[in-house]
């Protein structure tokens, strides 16, 4: 028995925001500057009233419809997020469970930043293969605009809001394909490359912290770029070697959509055909745990996923964390 993805859905923040928005804010930047360094032309920002659970619920509803499943058959919800509705509790997954009007099923959040969906999908796979659950809703959702300093040119141009959902179910007897393998990793020595320095239990939120804006995302852009490249490329090669695959045996490589420069560097370094590299960061920006499931959902909507396709998912992000999932589409 294997786990497989049987449905996908996604949702975006309400406000499409182009690069000129940041020029209008008075930042020392331009459309050309942002595009050259990130590849991003636009992104979607949630309204003030929209929370992570709202986007997660919309993505889940689309996923349930796509999977053609009675929602009463869902027996677990996992939400990967760095931007829960509430600081500590209740979990965003519990809020999604209520908004979907499901029964008293298990629901919990998982925190692995931009690698969150990879970690959550791996967790769901293990639950399915152990026969503990049969239909698991896995959601990657973030409203990064809520934790971004819009006076910081180095971060605010990158981050955006969105959610992607996948229904993970058991394969039926005799069915081939599914989630073939998963690999999860972390390196806490790189924690300071990408973090929110204050506002947690180490430095509880107070007025001095809000005045200095240290409760927002801070990032060492060059350090993140170098770490992502040095970590993800060997991880991809290791996964392929483990299964005696060549890079162009893949139908698609779906990496976390951090920025286009990182994606291009990865593809060039491993010799991947450009038409097999999935890129949507140009229009959606970096939505953290949502980037990979949004990309998968789009491929599915466009009917680009065919039975037997080999797909490698590669998440990476703060922590530093990274995770891979090798899938044969079924």
Q: Measured between alpha carbons, how far is 54 from 127 in angstroms, rounded to an integer?
A: 26
Judge if 85 and 205 occupy the same domain: no
Q: Does 17 share its domain with 83?
A: yes
Residues 189 and 247 in one domain: yes
Last residue of a domain, one of 140, 170, 200: 170
Residue 4, both tokens: 């497989």
Residues 165 and 19 in one domain: yes
pLDDT digits (tens, 9 = 90+) for 65-114: 999 999 999 999 999 999 999 998 999 999 999 999 999 999 999 999 99
Residues 260 and 164 in one domain: no
Distance from C-alpha of 276 to C-alpha of 49, rounded to nearest angstrom: 37
Helices (H), 144-254: 153-156, 207-212, 221-242
Q: Does one domain contain both 157 and 205?
A: no
The per-residue pLDDT for 174 is: 78
Tell me, what CATH number does 83's domain have? 3.40.47.10
Instruction: List the chain residues with pLDDT less than 50.
Output: none
Q: Give the model confidence (pLDDT) of 150-181 as tens digits.
A: 999 999 999 999 999 999 999 888 788 999 99
Are 86 and 51 contacting, i.e. CB atoms less than 8 angstroms apart?
Answer: no
How many domains are there within the chain?
Answer: 2
pLDDT value, residue 176: 84
| Residues carrying an active site annotation | 114, 256, 286
pLDDT at residue 172, as a whole number: 82
Among residues 112, 141, 170, the one where a domain terminates is: 170
Which pLDDT value is given to residue 175? Answer: 81
Output DSSP code: residue 199. B
Residues 301 and 185 in one domain: yes
| Domain final residue pick, 136, 170, 204 | 170
Dist. CA 93–CA 114, nearest whole Å: 17
Q: Are residues 151 and 183 in the same domain?
A: no
Residue 154 sits in the same domain as residue 237: no
Per the document, the length of the chain is 330
What Å distances lie between residue 288 and 254, 316, 320, CA to CA?
Answer: 14, 9, 13
- Closest Cα to residue 258, out of 274, 280, 236? 280
Predicted pLDDT at 311: 99
The pLDDT assigned to 146 comes to 98
The per-residue pLDDT for 313 is 99
**Residue 13's domain spans which residues?**
3-170
Same domain, 8 and 112: yes
Q: Given the structure tokens 């690069």, which residue do they identify?
A: 19
Indicate if 132 and 158 belong to the same structural domain. Answer: yes
Residues 227 and 120 reside in one and the same domain: no
């Amino acid at each position: 028995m294997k786990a497989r993805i049987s449905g996908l859905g996604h949702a975006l923040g309400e406000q499409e925001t182009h690069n000129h928005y940041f020029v209008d804010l008075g930042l020392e930047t331009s459309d050309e500057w942002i595009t050259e360094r990130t590849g991003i032309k636009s992104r979607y920002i949630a309204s003030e009233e929209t929370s992570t659970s709202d986007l997660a619920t919309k993505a889940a509803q689309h996923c349930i419809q796509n999977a053609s499943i009675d929602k009463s058959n869902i027996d677990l919800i996992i939400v990967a997020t760095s931007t829960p509705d509430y600081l500590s509790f209740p979990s965003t997954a519990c809020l999604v469970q209520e908004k979907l009007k499901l029964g008293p099923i298990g629901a919990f959040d998982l925190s692995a930043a931009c690698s969150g969906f990879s970690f959550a999908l791996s967790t769901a796979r293990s639950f399915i293969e152990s026969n503990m659950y049969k239909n698991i809703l896995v959601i990657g959702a973030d409203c990064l605009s809520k934790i971004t300093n819009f006076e910081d040119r180095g971060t605010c141009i990158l981050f955006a809001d969105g959610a992607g959902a996948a229904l993970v179910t058991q394969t039926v007897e005799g069915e081939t394909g599914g989630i073939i393998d998963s690999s999860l990793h972390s390196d806490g020595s790189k924690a300071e490359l990408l973090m929110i320095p204050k506002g947690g239990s180490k430095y509880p939120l107070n007025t001095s912290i809000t005045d200095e804006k240290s409760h927002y995302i801070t990032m060492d852009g060059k350090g993140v770029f170098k770490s992502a490249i040095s970590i993800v490329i060997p991880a991809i090669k290791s996964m392929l070697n483990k299964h005696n695959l060549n890079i162009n045996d893949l139908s698609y490589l779906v990496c976390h959509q951090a920025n286009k420069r990182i994606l291009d560097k990865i593809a060039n370094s491993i010799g991947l055909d450009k038409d097999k590299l999935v890129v949507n960061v140009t229009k959606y920006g970096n939505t953290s745990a949502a980037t990979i499931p949004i990309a998968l959902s789009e491929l599915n909507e466009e009917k680009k996923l065919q039975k037997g396709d080999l797909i490698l998912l590669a998440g990476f992000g703060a922590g530093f964390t990274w995770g891979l999932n090798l899938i044969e589409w079924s």
